[in-house]
Amino acid sequence: MTRTVVGSASKEVVIGLNQPFVIIGERINPTGRKKLAEEMKAGDFRRVKTDVLAQVEAGAHMLDVNAGIPLADEPAILAETVKLVQSLTDVPLSIDSSVVEALAAGLAVYRGKALVNSVTGEDERLEAVLPLVARYGAAVVAISNDDSGISEDPDVRFAVAKKIVSRAADHGIPKEDVVVDPLVMPVGAIPTAAQQVFWLLRRLRDELQVNTTLGASNVSFGLPNRIGINATFLAMAATHGLTSAITNPLEPEITATINATNVLRGLDPNCSAWIGAYRQPEDSERGRRRRGRQRPNPNG
Amino acid sequence: MDEIDEIYEAVLDGDMRATPEYVQAALDAGVSASAILQEGMIAAMNEVGRLFEEDEYFVPEMLIAARAMKAGLSILRPFLVDAGIEPVGKVVLGTVQGDMHDIGKNLVGMMLEGAGFEIVDLGTDVAPAQFVEAVRNGVDILGLSALLTTTLSSMESTIKAIEEAGLRGAVKLMVGGAPVTDGYARKIGADGYAPDASQAATLAISLIA
């Protein structure tokens, strides 16, 4: 079973098929968040701080950090954000940029083994990003599109993923450290979008044997009740082999769905994470007594 | 219900089968091609845009309405040509160099077509020189799409290339895509920015007014 291990200075997280699903919090991202963008550009990180603490509290195992602000010094802002986030939490980070210099700046200040988000199958990107990933001993998100674009043909996307894994190996990056993002398109515009991804996830799991991640919210673009679609999509994707997702842990429906997939797939021993998250708080008196009787978990 | 109302309702419902039938029926009844287009189809697409902005309609409904209009237009087009009715303007669309996203741009194209524009879609990953060439061939509006913060710079270099070719005065420029903001659009010298496909249609109309 392929295990992707990422870490901060003091904490490791394992992404893998027989592991609880890894939630990568998506909130530290100024794209489409005007206020956050303005603040980060001006060096005001109060909102970032709030988002970090809230996401970890809500159950994020990792946090994605992006500083893509138009007309700003992205490498400097990303490095500063990474440092700040690591001073607030010990969860490992995904360093997210499409600017190679920003990835380099983020990696240079990161303590631990980061997840680099991302490289595509485009030759120029592969040759720019993979050496960085190798130099810092990081893991990398591999997006399955290449110079020919984002194919609607899942065979093409599988071939691109395979190419990235092989090119990573050329740079000394083992396939354990390549987490493939099969890219989901909006189902409101492309009716087969989700099914293509499920099919691709099975092949990535069974044939390429790599771990996977997804930015799930794209699937519901242009539809009402997006959270309902996103949560169900994540649950279905998990059964087809998805091992992590970049998503919003502050949405209770999303976290509940992911936690439930762990329970139903037998990855939450004694359902203790589930019970811990959802024990009725109003049941306070009995809840306290029960907690008082609780013995240490025999499975560790 | 008269013939125009039927066309209007059919487009609004995204009924791809009924729309061309009603267009044919209206033509048979002697309704002018111009009225069918303006009061039937364009008016319906306008309403689709309004409903979309009100969160009453969603992307799949916008798509089927645009398809229904397209089906109706295939019947109507020869009559429009005969009557000498021209599109309200010509728009060239494309996703800028280095960027492969096309869904947003396609939606914009559909809504602009729904507003009566002629659309030339250059596709994705379009080099500045290709845009310059298209402007040189004569076009009212150029619409640039970018979905990545990294490809925003291609948007800027495309506008620069048009300026350097001495063609900036010959075309209106509109821009859009997830990372694009109103402020960024102004900063790079675009004539307008729209946050979604429906507002892009409104913007295009105002740019050629």
Reported as a single tens digit per residue, the pLDDT across A151-202 is 778 889 999 999 999 999 999 999 999 999 999 999 999 999 999 999 999 9
The answer as to whether A299 is a domain residue is no
Does pLDDT of B138 surpass 60? yes
| Cβ–Cβ under 8 Å, residues B31 and B85 | no
Domain extent, residue A220, equals 3-293
Q: Chain-wide mean pLDDT for chain B? A: 95
* pLDDT for res A34: 86
Interchain pair A223, B124: CB under 8 A = no
Chain B partners within 8 Å of A149 (Cβ): 100, 124-125
* pLDDT for res A18: 93
DSSP string of chain B?
Answer: --HHHHHHHHHHTT-TTHHHHHHHHHHHTT--HHHIIIIIIIHHHHHHHHHHHTTSS-HHHHHHHHHHHHHHHHHHHHHHHHTTPPPS-EEEEEEBTT----HHHHHHHHHHHHTT-EEEE--SSB-HHHHHHHHHT--SEEEEE--STTTHHHHHHHHHHHHHTT-GGG-EEEEESTT--HHHHHHTT-SEE-SSHHHHHHHHHHHH-
Which residue does chain A place closest to B125, by CA atoms?
Answer: A149
* pLDDT for res A216: 87
What CATH number does residue A225 fall under?
A: 3.20.20.20
Interchain pair B149, A71: CB under 8 A = no
* pLDDT for res B78: 95
The answer as to whether A38 is a domain residue is yes
Mean pLDDT for the stretch of residues B192-199: 95
Which residue does chain B place closest to A122, by CA atoms?
Answer: B98
Q: In DSSP terms, which residues pair with A143 in a beta bridge?
A: A120, A181
Compute the distance between CA of residue A111 and CA of residue A177 in angstroms, rounded to an integer: 17
* pLDDT for res B65: 96
The answer as to whether A113 is a domain residue is yes
Which residue does chain A place closest to B146, by CA atoms?
Answer: A70
Q: Is the dihedral of CA A53, A58, A60, A61 positive or negative?
A: positive
Distance from CA of A143 to the nearest CA of B (A): 13
Interface of A with B in 171-190 (CB under 8 A): 185-186, 188-190
The answer as to whether A175 is a domain residue is yes
Domain total for chain A? 1
* pLDDT for res B16: 96
* pLDDT for res B209: 86
The answer as to whether A211 is a domain residue is yes
Chain A partners within 8 Å of B96 (Cβ): none
What percent of chain B lies above the pLDDT cut of 70? 100
* pLDDT for res A154: 85
Mean pLDDT for the stretch of residues A16-43: 93
Interchain pair A74, B149: CB under 8 A = yes
The answer as to whether A298 is a domain residue is no
* pLDDT for res A271: 94
> Which helix (DSSP H) or strand (DSSP E) does residue A36 occupy?
helix A34-41
Distance from CA of B48 to the nearest CA of A (A): 14
The answer as to whether A206 is a domain residue is yes
Mean pLDDT for the stretch of residues A58-73: 93
| Cβ–Cβ under 8 Å, residues A164 and A126 | yes
Q: Mutating which of A151, A187, A192, A221 best tests the B interface, going by the most B Cβ atoms within 10 A?
A: A221
Mean pLDDT for the stretch of residues A119-131: 95
pLDDT, one tens digit per residue, over B93-135 is 999 998 888 899 999 999 999 999 999 999 999 999 999 999 9
Identify the three-state secondary structure at position A5: strand
Chain A partners within 8 Å of B100 (Cβ): 145, 149-150
Interchain pair B100, A145: CB under 8 A = yes
Mean pLDDT for the stretch of residues B78-92: 95
Interchain pair A186, B62: CB under 8 A = no
Interchain pair B181, A150: CB under 8 A = no
Q: Which residue has the higher pLDDT, A70 or B142?
A: B142
Distance from CA of B34 to the nearest CA of A (A): 30
Give chain B's domains with CATH numbers. 3-82 (1.10.1240.10), 90-208 (3.40.50.280)
Band of pLDDT at residue A1, cut at 50, 70 and 90: confident
* pLDDT for res A289: 52
Interchain pair A31, B179: CB under 8 A = yes
Compute the distance between CA of residue B155 and CA of residue B144 in angstroms, rounded to an integer: 7
Q: Chain-wide mean pLDDT for chain A? A: 92
Q: Which residue has the higher pLDDT, B178 or B119?
A: B119
Compute the distance between CA of residue A257 and CA of residue A209 in angstroms, rounded to an integer: 25
* pLDDT for res A285: 57
Q: Which residue has the higher pLDDT, B144 or A292?
A: B144
Which residue does chain B place closest to A99, by CA atoms?
Answer: B150
What percent of chain B lies above the pLDDT cut of 90? 92
Distances (CA, A) of A165 to A19, A29, A120, A180, B192: 22, 27, 11, 9, 42
Distance from CA of A94 to the nearest CA of B (A): 18
pLDDT, one tens digit per residue, over A250-295 is 999 999 999 999 999 999 999 999 999 998 765 555 555 555 445 5
Identify the three-state secondary structure at position A4: strand
Chain B partners within 8 Å of A69 (Cβ): 149
Interchain pair B60, A188: CB under 8 A = yes
Interchain pair A34, B62: CB under 8 A = no
Band of pLDDT at residue A145, cut at 50, 70 and 90: confident
A221 near B CB under 8 A? yes
| Nearest alpha-carbon partner for B96 in B134, B30, B144, B137 | B144
The answer as to whether A197 is a domain residue is yes
* pLDDT for res A262: 97
* pLDDT for res A70: 81
Mean pLDDT for the stretch of residues B148-157: 90
Global pTM value? 0.85
Does pLDDT of A300 surpass 50? no
